[in-house]
């Protein structure tokens, strides 16, 4: 499987995980990820994220968003 496809799968899993964890709809999470560049963030950090579990990555994303004063 190509790296790009692996990144896409991770992005998809994280949208679903964020939806469940943050009690938001998939559409709301998608809007949040697009607005704050989270899809790009996941892609840019792939080198470290691919060796961590999804929940660890989601925790990192939450901290990233909180640093931008987004409440999640």
Chain segment 48-59, per-residue pLDDT in tens? 998 999 999 999
Cα Dmax for the chain? 36
Spans of all domains in the chain: 3-67
d(CA 47, CA 69): 26
The per-residue pLDDT for 22 is 97
d(CA 43, CA 26): 19
Chain segment 22-58, per-residue pLDDT in tens? 999 999 999 999 999 999 999 999 999 989 999 999 9
- Quickly state the pLDDT bin for 62 (edges 50, 70, 90): very high
Portion of the chain with pLDDT greater than 90, in percent: 94
The per-residue pLDDT for 50 is 87
């Amino acid at each position: 499987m190509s790296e790009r496809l692996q990144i896409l799968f991770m992005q998809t899993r994280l949208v679903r995980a964020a939806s469940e964890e943050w009690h938001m709809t998939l559409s709301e999470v998608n809007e949040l990820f697009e607005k704050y560049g989270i899809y790009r963030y996941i892609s840019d950090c792939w080198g470290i994220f691919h060796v961590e579990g999804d929940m660890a990555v989601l925790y990192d994303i939450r901290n990233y968003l909180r640093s931008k004063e987004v409440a999640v």
